[in-house]
Amino acid sequence: MAPLGEDTPLIGGRSCSLSSGESGTLQVLLYHRAPGTAPGTAPGSAAGALTFTCGEFTAEELCVRAAKACGVLPVCHPLFALATEDLSCWFPPNHTFRVEECRSQVVVYRIRFFFPNWCGLGQCHRLQLLNGPASPVLDYPAIDYLFAQSRSDFIGGRVALGLSLPTQEQCLSLAVLDMLRIAKEERQSPGQLCSHVSYKSCLPAPLRAQIQQHNFVTRKRLRRRFGKSLRRLGGCCHADGPHLKLKYLLDLERLQRRGCEEIFRVRSPGSAAPIAIHVSGDGGVAWSCGGSESRQHFCDFPDIADISIKQAASAAENRLVTLTKADGRALEVEFPTLREARSFVALLDGYYRLTADAQHYFCREVAPPRLLEDLENQCHGPISAEFAVNKLEAAGGAPGLFLLRRSPQDFDSYLLTVCVQTRSGRDYRRCRIRQDEDGRVRLSGVARRFCSLRELLDTYGHRGLQAEGAPMRLEVACPPRAKEKSNLLIVRSGVPRPPGSPPAARRRSLQQMMFHKIDPQSLTRGESLAQGSFTHIYKGIKQEQDEEDGPRQTPVVLKVMDSSHRNCLESFLEAASTMSQLSHKHLVLLHGVSLSKDSVMVQEHVRGGPLDLYLRKQRGAVTTGWKLTVAKQLGYALNYLEDKKIPHGNVSAKKVLLAREGDTAGGSPPFIKLNDPGVSVTVLARDMLLERIPWVAPECVSDPGSLALPADKWGFGATLWEIFSGGNMPLSLQEPQRKLEFYQSRQQLPAPKWPELAALVAQCMEYEPQRRPCFRALIRDLNSLITSDYELLSELSPTDATLRDGFWGHDSLAMSQDPEHFQERHLKYISLLGKGNFGSVELCRYDPLGDSTGELVAVKKLQQDSAKEIRDFEREIQILHSLQHDFIVQYRGVCYSRGMRGLRLVMEFLPNGCLRDFLQKNQPRLEHRTLLLYAWQICKGMEYLGARRCVHRDLASRNILVESDSHVKIGDFGLAKLLPQDKDYYVVREPGQSPVFWYAPESLADNIFSCASDTWSFGVLLYELFTYSSKSKSPSEVYSLMMSCWAFTPGSRPAFGDLSPKIEALRDGRSKTRG
C-alpha cells in the first residue's frame, strides 16, 4: 500500500475502471487490489474501483468481478458482500443492479462475515479431514483485503473506541506497526518514512482531532516519542509485511470489543417498543430491548430451522421476518423496509452456510444465484481435492462414479473428479471444464462447446472421455448432500464441530434403554380408544402424591403391548427409550413406561386424535392454509429428528395427532404432534411391511435393516399427499402384491393438481434415497407455496384471511422469547424430575391456551421458604439470568405465587437428565472421544463462568445436564457465588450441607472458594467421567490432567482457559488415532 499522508483518501481514487465515464455508472469501491490487476494504476496504489456503464448485474456477479480484481479465491468468496457507500445496509447476493443513465450508484466490496481469532490456526479454522492439517479461514489475498478494510475502518473512525489512556496507547502501538509495515513495503528506513508521512495518518480520526488540540510542544514531544519507538522497533523487528499485517489485525481485534457484530433496529409486531437484534460470528443471534445492555441469546446459526419474510400489512413497506429454531421456538420482528429485512436474512443465511451447511439457503428472496445453479447441476462448491476423493470413497468408489465441483482456484472453471479402474487398481482422475463469457461450457483443451453442464455431462456420459491417458466413464453422479463436511465450513473456537455422518443403528439391551419407570399401581385404565397392530390403546389416569399439594391426577394415554407380540417387545421399548430423550413441541410427550404383567407406554393425552380420521370426517371443510400449516409443523418435528440423526421410520397421517383443531374465525392455527413410531420396520414381518406401502420407503421394503434418515422424507411425501387428499390413500387398499409391483416398477402417486405441491411430493418420493432433500429444504419449499397464486389454488373462504395472517403459528417476540414472568395458573405439572436437600425440580408444560400445545420447561421450587433460603434462591435466579452460554442451562423466567414465598425458577427442559445417570445407562457405548467432548464443553462453560467472576461451588456430574449425545450443560447454581471485585476468592460464613467429596482442601479447611476450587471439583468430575470409580479405566493423559487439578496449592492448579485447549488436543489426537 502506498505511503499515506493525513489527507490521503481511505478508499483509493475511482480512476481504476473497467469502462470510462462517470454519469450513469455503477461503481464498486475496493479497499485493496491484487498487484497487476489494474492497468494504468500508479505504482504502489492498492485501492481503487470497478466501474460499469451499462447492463444488469447481480450483487454476487459484482462480488465475483471484485474478487478477481483483488485476487480473492472462490473458497473465501462467501465471506464478502456489497454494502451501501455509507455502510448502513448490505445487499443480498441476488439483488439486481441496473445501470441507469439518470443516476450513478456506488457500492463497497467488503468482508461481511467475521469470526473471532480467525488469523490463528489454533482457534478458528476450516474443517479438515481427520488426519489432515488445519487450514486457516483466510488465505493471504483475503488477509490483505481484510487488513486494508480494517485499517480503513480504524483510521476512518468506524471502529467504536473510547479515548481512555490505555486505548490511546494501543492506538499508537497500532500506528507504529502500520508505519513499520509501510517502511518495509516501500523499502525505506523508519527515519526516511517519518520525513514525509505523518504518524497521525495512521491514527483514528477522533484521536487525531484530540492530538491536534494539544499545544505545539506537546505535539512535538508525541511525534519525537513515536519516531523513537518506530526506530527502536525497526532495528530489532525482522518480520515482513504479511506478518506485520497479521499482528496489526490481531491487536485490532483485541481492541475492538464488539466490532464484528451487526445490529438491526426493529420492533416487535403490534408494539412500538424498539428492539435491537445483534448478530455476530461467535455469538449467533441475540436481542435486547431499547438501549439496554442486557441481551437475551436466541440461537446459534446451526440451530436455525427456517426463516421467512412476509409483508406486515397490505399497503405497508414493513416486513415481518420470522426466525424459527430447530426446537420450534420462534423470533418474529418487524423491519421498516424490505431492503433492511433482506439484509438481515442474507446475513443469517450466509453465516449458516459457513458454519452448518454450505449447500443450503433459507428463502429465495436472498438465495445466491450461483448456489441455485449448483443445486440444479448437482455440483459441489469449491471443495478441495481431498474432500472430493473422500466423498467418492464414502459413496463406494465404483468405477464410473464422478463428482462435479467448482474450482477452488478459478471462478470460471469446474473440476470433474472421476473414479477409474487402472492396471494398478482403483484411482481418481480429474479434468477441467471451462465456462466462457457467454455462459457456454467446454472441456479444457476441447473445442466443442455446450449450452449447459447437464448437456456436457450427458454427452460424455454416453461417449466416455480420456483424462491423463485413462478412459473414463461418467455413470453415476455423487451429488451434494445436506450438512456434509468440507473445507467450506468454518470451525469456530468454543463451538462444537459440525456432527459427522449418523452412526450405524445399534440395538440396545434393556439395561441400556433410558426411560422413566412408572409404578403400575399409579395407573388407572379407562375406556378403549383404538387397537394398533401391536398394542391396545386406552385412556388413563396417572396418579402421583405430592407432599404439599396432595394427590395429583394427570390424563394420559396407555399403549399396552399385546402379549401375542412379545417378540417385538424390545423394539417397542426401544421406541419408548428414544422418545423419552426428545423434547419438541410437535412431538408427543412420553411420561414413561410401566413394566409388570403388561408392558405399557404412558403418553400425554392428545385430545384431537389421529389426523387421517379428522380429515376424513371434515372432508372438504378443511382449507389449504390449514393443511399447509399442519404439513409445516410436521416438517419441524421431522427436522428436529433429522438434526438429532434419529430416523422415525413410520411417518403417516395416522401417526400425526391433532392437539388443536384451530379456529378460522379467530385466527388460531391448528397444532399437531407426531406420535412415537411404534415397532420398528426393521423387525416387522413381511406382510406387515407391505401393508405400510406407500408410507414405508422402497429401500426399507427391499432391506428393512437399511432404515435411515432418507426414509422419513419418503414418508413425509406420502403423508403430504394424504393430507391434501383428505386423509385418503387409495393405494393402501390394494393387494400386497400390487403394492409391491408399484414399488418395483418405480411408479409415483397421482400428481396433485397444484404443480408446486406435486413437485414437492415428487422430491420426497424419489426412489434414490440420497436425492431426497433435507427437511430444512422441504420447510423452505413449503414456505414458497404461499405465492401470489395462493388464492387461486386454494379453496379459501372469506373468513380464511384471518387464518392466513396467523398461518405461521408464531407469537410475537414478547411471547415467544424468554418471558420474564410466568403465570402459575398456566404451569401444568407433569412429573417430578429430581429432589434435593433444598429444592425440587418438576417437569411442567407452560400452556397459556390450555390445549397442551405449550412449551415443556423445568421448574425449580424450594422445599422450605425461610427468609434466608428465599434470599439464596433469589441470588441463584439472578446469577442464572445473567449467564448466556451454549454449555450452561438456559434461564426461561420466574413464577410468583403467594408473593415471594411461592417463587419458582423456570429453566429449559433437557430430557436426558443428569450426566451421572446418563453415564450409568450408556457406559458401554460411550467412547473416550465422546467423554473428552463432554469434558471440553464443561471446561468452556466454566471458563465463561470464571470470566463473569462466578464460582459454581457444586461442580459434579449430578449437576451436569445432557441435552444430547454430543451436548452437555452446566446446571444447578444453588451454591454459586459472585466474587467481590477486589478479591479472587470468597469466604462462606455458613457452609451448610456441602458436597465435601468434590471440595478442594482450602474449602474444607477454611471455607475459601475460588475459580481454583472449581478446578479441583473439575478434576473429580473428570474422575467420574473416565473411571466410573475404577482407576484402571482412566487414560494416562486424562489422569495427568486430574492430578494437575488436584494440586494442593490453589495457585498451582491450571485455569480452565488452559485446560480446554489441552482437552481439545487430546480429543483431536484420539480422533486421528481412530481415523
732 pLDDT band (50/70/90 cuts)? Answer: confident
The three cell numbers locating residue 734: 390394494
* Yes or no: domain 379-477 corresponds to CATH 3.40.50.300: no
Q: What is the mean pLDDT of residues 861-871?
A: 81
pLDDT in tens, 249-275: 988 888 876 668 899 999 988 777 889
Known binding residues for ATP are 833-841, 860-861
**pLDDT tens by residue, 1022-1061:** 998 887 545 556 678 888 899 999 999 998 999 998 998 8
Residue 233 has pLDDT above 70, yes or no: yes
Q: How many CB atoms lie within 10 A of CB 347?
A: 22
**Quick one: which H or E segment has residue 55?**
none
Distance CA 26, CA 23 (A): 9
**Cα angle value 889/894/899 (rounded, 5°):** 150
Q: CA-to-CA distance for 156 and 202, rounded, in angstroms?
A: 10
Identify the residue with better confidence: 332 or 253.
Answer: 332
In tens, the pLDDT along 674-701 reads 999 999 999 998 988 999 999 999 999 9
Q: Does pLDDT of 1068 surpass 50? A: yes
Lay out the sheet containing 135-136: strands in order across. Answer: 135-136, 125-126, 490-491
Pairing label, strands 476-477, 401-406: parallel
Topology of domain 609-768 in CATH is Transferase(Phosphotransferase); domain 1 (1.10.510)
Q: How far apart are CA 460 and CA 473, in angstroms?
A: 8
Residue 412: the pLDDT is 95
Q: Kindly tell me if the per-residue pLDDT of 752 is higher than 50.
A: yes
Three-state secondary structure along 546-568?
Answer: ECCCEEEEEEEEEEEECHHHHHH
Q: What average pLDDT does the segment 300-310 reach?
A: 94
Residue with the three cell numbers 464410473? 400
User: Are 710 and 769 in contact, with CB atoms under 8 Å apart?
Assistant: yes
Reported as type and span, the H/E element at residue 287 is strand 284-289
**Whole-angstrom distance, CA of residue 1073 vs CA of residue 1067:** 10
- Peptide bond connecting 752 to the previous residue in cis, omega within 30 degrees of 0: no
Domain(s) of CATH 3.30.200.20: residues in the chain? 515-604, 820-909
Instruction: Write out the binding residues.
Output: 833-841, 860-861
Per-residue confidence (pLDDT) for residue 802, from 0 to 100? 31
Report the pLDDT value the prediction gives residue 534, as an integer from 0 to 100. 87
Tell me what pLDDT residue 19 has.
38
What percent of the chain is modeled with pLDDT above 90? Answer: 47
pLDDT (0 to 100) of residue 767: 96
Nearest to 722 by CA among 649, 786, 808, 656: 656
The ranges of the chain annotated as CATH 1.10.510.10 are 609-768, 912-1074
Whether 899 has a pLDDT exceeding 80, the answer reads no
| Averaged confidence pLDDT in the chain | 85
pLDDT at 660: 93
Q: Which band of pLDDT confidence, cut at 50, 70 and 90, is reported for residue 493?
A: confident
E strand map for 476-579: 476-477, 490-491, 523-531, 535-546, 550-561
Report the pLDDT value the prediction gives residue 386, as an integer from 0 to 100: 94
Confidence of residue 801 (pLDDT cuts 50, 70, 90): very low
pLDDT of residue 991: 59
Gyration radius from the chain CA atoms: 31
Average pLDDT, stretch 178-188?
Answer: 86
Q: Residue 440: pLDDT band by 50, 70, 90 thresholds? A: very high
- The answer on pLDDT for 558 being more than 50 is yes
Q: Which of 169-173, 227-231, 837-841, 1066-1070 has the lowest mean pLDDT?
A: 1066-1070
Whole-angstrom distance, CA of residue 289 vs CA of residue 278: 11
For residue 822, what pLDDT is reported? 85
Among the listed residues 954, 965, 972, 1014, the single catalytic one is: 954
Give me the architecture of the 912-1074 domain, per CATH: Orthogonal Bundle (1.10)
Over 80: is that where the pLDDT of 351 sits? yes
| pLDDT at position 1016 over 90 | yes
Nearest to 1060 by CA among 1050, 1075, 1045, 1047: 1045
What's residue 466's pLDDT?
76
Cell of 881: 439470568
pLDDT level of residue 44 (50, 70, 90 thresholds): very low
> Band of the pLDDT at 81, cuts 50, 70, 90?
very high
Domain 820-909 part of CATH 3.30.750.210:
no
DSSP H helix total and E strand total for the chain: 30, 43
612 a catalytic residue: no
Q: Which of 113-127, 145-159, 620-634, 908-922 has the lowest mean pLDDT?
A: 113-127
pLDDT of 825 reads 78
Read off the pLDDT band of 219 (50, 70, 90): confident
- Within the chain, which residue ranges are assigned CATH 3.30.505.10? 379-477
Is residue 333 scored above 50 in pLDDT? Answer: yes
Locate cell 441470588: which residue?
875
The residue-averaged pLDDT of 368-387 equals 96
Cβ contacts of residue 1055 below 8 Å, gap of 6+? Answer: 943, 946, 1011, 1015
Find cell 475459580 and name the residue.
1011
- Cβ contacts of residue 479 below 8 Å, gap of 6+? 378, 770, 771
Flag whether pLDDT at 460 surpasses 50.
yes
Alpha helical stretches, state H, 283-384: 338-355, 369-376
Q: Which of 370, 319, 327 is nearest to 345 (CA)?
A: 319
Model confidence band, residue 434 (pLDDT cutoffs 50, 70, 90): very high
Q: Which of 303-312, 411-420, 531-540, 695-704 has the lowest mean pLDDT?
A: 531-540
For residue 984, pLDDT beyond 70: yes
Q: Determine the pLDDT at residue 900.
A: 55
Band of the pLDDT at 22, cuts 50, 70, 90? low
CA–CA dist 905, 877 (Å, integer): 7
What pLDDT does 815 receive? Answer: 39
261-370: CATH number: 2.30.29.30
Torsion angle in degrees (nearest 10) through CA of 487, 240, 250, 75: -20
DSSP 1050: G
β-pairing verdict for 441-443 and 425-435: antiparallel
CA distance 907 to 57: 49
Confidence at 965, pLDDT banded by 50, 70, 90: confident
Looking at per-residue confidence, does 867 or 653 come out higher?
653
241-255 helix and 165-185 helix, angle to the nearest 10 degrees = 160
pLDDT of 812 reads: 44
> What is the CATH topology of the domain spanning 515-604?
Phosphorylase Kinase; domain 1 (3.30.200)
On the question of pLDDT at 432 being above 70, the answer is yes
